[in-house]
Amino acid sequence: VVRALKPIALTFDDGPHAGTLEILRVLSAYQARATFFQCGMHARRNAEIARAVAETHEVANHTETHPLLLRCLPGTIAREVAEAQEAISRAAGAVPRLFRCPYGVPGLGLGRALRPHGLHNVFWTVIGNDWKWPAARIAERVLKATRPGGIIVLHDGRDVDPAPDISETVEAVRRIVPELLQRGYQFQTASELLCQKT
């Protein structure tokens, strides 16, 4: 990994879906790499899209069915992690190394559930509120809050929705990526960014 002066990680949760392909096109136009925290239930149904993501980008684990882990028993958390790990590995053809909690909220026994898979739990530093805001407002918030070494989270899905409308997110990505490049940021996968920090 080349040491970047202004590294930034763009991450997407809750996919993959048909709309994910539009995000891939935007990222490809700027040769920007990102990290996609996928749900096992979505990766199973959209295996070709999961694989298309993994060709260029990092895929990571966002549980099987997107539950609030705080309300889950340790055994349920272990199953959510393991099932998603298997589904994503099979669909995408790449084994996740990173994990992110649904809603950013951990639960009892999460560490024990992640350890056998070698997964590291990753949060974010900038959240775009893209599930409820129009593109201009998402982009404004993200661009204002981004700092070197940050991790931005947007969403290429909406929780368990099998056919989400992510057009505002896609439009926000169209605005955010060229502007951050213009400001001298270098896009890295979340794993690359975290490796560089240690």
Which residues carry out catalysis? 13, 155
Return the ∠ at Cα 96 (arms to 92 and 98), rounded to 5°. Answer: 145
| Alpha carbons 190 and 116: distance in angstroms, whole number | 20
Shortest Å distance, C-beta 90 to Zn ion:
21
2 Cβ contact list (under 8 Å, min separation 6): none
Cα 78 to Cα 195: distance, rounded to the nearest angstrom: 26
Q: Does 156 bind Zn ion (CB under 5 A)?
A: no
SS3 at position 186: strand
Residue 147 Cβ vs Zn ion, minimum distance, rounded to whole Å: 23
**Applying CB under 5 A, which part among 97-105, 115-123, 129-137, 160-168 lies near Zn ion?**
97-105
Told to check if 64 binds Zn ion by CB under 5 A, we report no
Is residue 102 within the footprint of Zn ion (CB under 5 A)? yes
Give the pair of three-digit tokens for residue 71.
């309300």
Window of 52-60, 94-102, 122-130, 160-168 that interacts with Zn ion by CB under 5 A: 94-102
Residues forming a β-bridge with 151: 9
Tell whether residue 14 is a contact of Zn ion (CB under 5 A): yes
Residues near Zn ion (CB under 5 A), total: 3
* Chosen residue from 12, 13, 119, 176 binding Zn ion by CB under 5 A: 13
Which is nearer to Zn ion, 13 or 171 (by Cβ)? Answer: 13
Non-local (6+) Cβ contacts of 140 within 8 A are: none
* 156/21 Cα distance (integer angstroms): 9
Examine residue 80 and tell whether it contacts Zn ion (CB under 5 A).
no
Residues that bind Zn ion (CB under 5 A): 13-14, 102
